Amino acid sequence: MSQVDKQLDDIRAEIEQEVPSGISITEVAYEGPELVVYTRDPKTFASNGDLIRRLASKLRKRITVRPDPSELSEPSDAKATIENIIPEDAGVTDLDFHHDTGEVVVEAQKPGMVIGRHGSTLREITQEVGWTPEVVRTPPIESSTVKNVRNFLKQERDDRRDILERIGRQIHREEMSDDEWVRITTLGCCREVGRAAFILSTPETRVLIDCGDKPGAEDEVPYLQVPEALGSGPSSLDAVVLTHAHLDHSALIPLLFKYGYDGPIYCTEPTRDLMGLLTLDYLDVASKEGRTPPYESEMVREAIKHTIPLEYGDVTDIAPDIKLTLHNSGHILGSAISHFHIGDGLYNVAFSGDIHYDDTRLFNGAVNEFPRVETLVLESTYGGRNDYQTDQADSERKLKEVISDTIERDGKVLIPAFAVGRSQEIMLVLEEAMREGDIPEVPVHLDGMIWEATAIHTTYPEYLRDDLRDRIFHDDQNPFLADQFNHIDGGEEERQEVADGGPCIVLSTSGMVEGGPIMSWLRHVGGQDEGTMVFVGYQAQGTMGRRIQNGWDEIPVNDGGGRADTLSLNMDVETVDGFSGHADRQGLENFVRTMNPRPEKVLCVHGDESSTQDLSSALYHEFNMRTFAPKNLETFRFV
């Protein structure tokens, strides 16, 4: 009998001692990080409201209780009963029964009403039909990404169950080493921005944090081939943690599966979906530009299939000696600071991922309270001595001014924007400005991936800023559903109509005018001298966006027929900064200053050479902590 089986036997005995007589346990199994308890008496189990929490705390495991398959009523009967129990206002849009797990997935417009006060409705469902309800939100804007991911996971459910069981046994294996150490190896994004990748290792466990590409430097990928990473075989990696879905953190996650990795990816649910969206687009762009994509779309599906979504604050065993907790980092939807608790109180490391310290319209500011943390790995994008950003209120004032002026002279406003994060922030600014009469109410057209990314945001309102979430939850005043927002889904014909029409605002990808529908918009409205083009995001050196900022007004474009041509840009060109998703130098310092507890050591990464060194030096002098600006391919030992 394996050690894991013996452990499960012991746990089962402990559970049987703990539950009231009359509840029979038929199986106890690991499924990923969770312990699943099967019972013939799910109703009695469910009626003991506190029992699961008591077991979880006693066993120090996340516990899910499922009915033994023999206890499940017929789906057709169960369907009627469930529809009876859930209030009609909940807006149930789908019920899906899974015999293998005894779960019924309830898709509803208002998941809160399906759950009920303290889960009372869920318990009632279980008591009545035996099935365990799992609730998902019906996206208020239909997202094809979310739909595809959920359909795919449904279809792969058997396979996924095997994967989760294997991972579960791996997580709960016996510790082999008597030795104690904690190390971080840098595989990328040190003294540079891009190709984020770190190894956190102990004698027992190896975890990869992020695996991104480096924009504008095709050949510079993370150093995955060194022995500390995948050099001794992909199976030597226990887990992958993804802080957020931006490609400089996520692009090469699917590549791991091509290399033979077969373990879990931990991230939030929106990060999983956004990763799917962005990596598929990444492959698409590569093939359109005539490059060989580093992996096939099949590998994106593998990555999704191996993802174990975690919510902020869930303390999760990911190895015999490591517990992972994700915390909001304020950067984009689902972005997370990854906190690792190693050993039994031995050491704690937090990887910031990308952070925004102050609240933005979309997100709460980054969390910086932890039970313990000795070492912080901190992004330094704006860590340079002069990297102070304009206040967002000033930026918004300027944006509104530019828009009002343009509309007044009957012009159109064209805003190139990144699909994920910055577009939604601007949408919130525009919605409020129109609602409060700061700018005239005109149509706002959303083109490219922006609509899809927004749809994903509305699917996960619990990841948005408190008051924004509340508006969506309680007031039915989802700002993203405001009437003026229009999804451009009619192609060139619709764009032509918009171009021929009156004043309006267009948000379109790509954010740096490097392809995508923005090129089409330039053709349609670029010549209109009453219009304004407004940059709201960072334009990298060498991009068309940067050139236009610098005064270029002859833009090389392909017309629809594929012929090369040049168009004259007659629009005004304006730049409004202050909408960054990154903390500026002040924000980074504030993050560390108010961090509780304050870490002993900080590794400054994810910034160019001078930014990381400036920040490292400033934190050392200000807070008297040990600080480093590591190079790629170094290993630091902490215990």
Burial 157-178 (b: 16+ CB within 10 A, else e): eeebbebbeebbbbbbbeeeee
Q: Tell me: does residue 259 bind a second copy (CB under 8 A).
A: no
How many chain residues are in contact with a second copy, going by CB under 8 A? 17
- Nearest residue to 606 (alpha-carbon basis) of 395, 242, 352, 342: 352
DSSP state of 526: T
How does strand 336-342 pair with strand 347-351?
antiparallel
Q: Tell me: does residue 633 bind a second copy (CB under 8 A).
A: yes
Q: Tell me: does residue 469 bind a second copy (CB under 8 A).
A: no
Phi, psi of 204, deg, nearest 5: -100, -30
Question: Can you state the percent helix, strand and coil of the chain, rounding each to 5?
Answer: 40, 20, 40
**Could you say which of 20, 231, 440, 556 contacts a second copy (CB under 8 A)?**
231
DSSP string, 486-520: EE--SHHHHHHHHHHSSS-EEEES-TTSSSSHHHH
DSSP string, 69-118: GGGPPPHHHHHHHHHHHS-GGG-EEEEEEETTTTEEEEEES-HHHHH-GG
Q: Name the one range near a second copy by CB under 8 A: 232-240, 345-353, 482-490, 520-528.
A: 232-240
354 labelled binding-site residue: yes
**Could you say which of 61, 147, 166, 183 contacts a second copy (CB under 8 A)?**
183
445 labelled binding-site residue: no
**Cβ distance to a second copy smaller for residue 228 or 396:** 228
DSSP state of 462: G
User: What are the Cα distances from residue 39, in Å, to 22, 23, 34, 75, 200?
Assistant: 11, 7, 16, 19, 38
Q: Tell me: does residue 87 bind a second copy (CB under 8 A).
A: no
98 labelled binding-site residue: no
Q: Tell me: does residue 181 bind a second copy (CB under 8 A).
A: yes
Q: What is the largest CA-CA distance in the chain?
A: 81
Phi, psi of 371, deg, nearest 5: -60, -45
**Could you say which of 49, 87, 119, 233 contacts a second copy (CB under 8 A)?**
233
**Cβ distance to a second copy smaller for residue 231 or 491:** 231
**Could you say which of 236, 297, 496, 610 contacts a second copy (CB under 8 A)?**
236
Burial of 359 (0-12, 13-18, 19+ CB in 10 A): middle
**Cβ distance to a second copy smaller for residue 61 or 183:** 183
Non-local CB neighbours of 252 within 8 Å, separated by 6+ positions:
195, 197, 211, 212, 213, 221, 222, 224, 294
What's the closest the beta carbon of residue 219 comes to a second copy, in angstroms?
8
**Could you say which of 53, 435, 593, 631 contacts a second copy (CB under 8 A)?**
631
**Cβ distance to a second copy smaller for residue 202 or 364:** 202
- Nearest residue to 59 (alpha-carbon basis) of 80, 40, 81, 34: 34
C-alpha 21/C-alpha 607 separation (Å) is: 60
249 labelled binding-site residue: yes
Q: Which pair of tokens denotes residue 33? A: 């990080």
Tokens 């990555």 locate to 303
**Could you say which of 185, 335, 510, 532 contacts a second copy (CB under 8 A)?**
185
621 labelled binding-site residue: no
Q: Tell me: does residue 637 bind a second copy (CB under 8 A).
A: yes
Q: Name the one range near a second copy by CB under 8 A: 33-41, 93-101, 305-313, 626-634.
A: 626-634
Q: Tell me: does residue 626 bind a second copy (CB under 8 A).
A: no
C-alpha 99/C-alpha 111 separation (Å) is: 22
**Cβ distance to a second copy smaller for residue 128 or 608:** 608
User: What are the Cα distances from residue 490, in Å, to 3, 10, 277, 415, 487?
Assistant: 60, 61, 21, 19, 9
**Cβ distance to a second copy smaller for residue 5 or 634:** 634
Q: Name the one range near a second copy by CB under 8 A: 82-90, 177-185, 240-248, 394-402.
A: 177-185
Q: Name the one range near a second copy by CB under 8 A: 27-35, 87-95, 226-234, 592-600.
A: 226-234
**549 and 489 Cβ atoms separated by less than 8 Å:** no
**Cβ distance to a second copy smaller for residue 14 or 220:** 220
- Nearest residue to 39 (alpha-carbon basis) of 17, 49, 52, 24: 24
Q: Tell me: does residue 227 bind a second copy (CB under 8 A).
A: yes
What's the closest the beta carbon of residue 186 comes to a second copy, in angstroms?
9
What's the closest the beta carbon of residue 600 comes to a second copy, in angstroms?
15
**Could you say which of 103, 204, 228, 273 contacts a second copy (CB under 8 A)?**
228
Q: Tell me: does residue 64 bind a second copy (CB under 8 A).
A: no
User: What are the Cα distances from residue 148, in Å, to 175, 200, 456?
Assistant: 39, 33, 12
**Cβ distance to a second copy smaller for residue 232 or 477:** 232
Q: Name the one range near a second copy by CB under 8 A: 43-51, 225-233, 388-396, 462-470.
A: 225-233
**Could you say which of 10, 296, 609, 634 contacts a second copy (CB under 8 A)?**
634
**Cβ distance to a second copy smaller for residue 231 or 501:** 231
**Cβ distance to a second copy smaller for residue 600 or 634:** 634
Tokens 């013996």 locate to 6
Cis peptide before 479 (omega within 30 of 0): no
Q: Tell me: does residue 478 bind a second copy (CB under 8 A).
A: no
Site string for a second copy, 540-579 (x = CB under 8 A): ----------------------------------------
Non-local CB neighbours of 530 within 8 Å, separated by 6+ positions:
406, 409, 410, 411, 412
99 labelled binding-site residue: no
Residue ranges in contact with a second copy by CB under 8 A: 181, 183, 185, 226-228, 231-233, 236, 631-637
Binding site members for Zn(2+): 244, 246, 248-249, 331, 354, 606
Binding residues: 244, 246, 248-249, 331, 354, 606
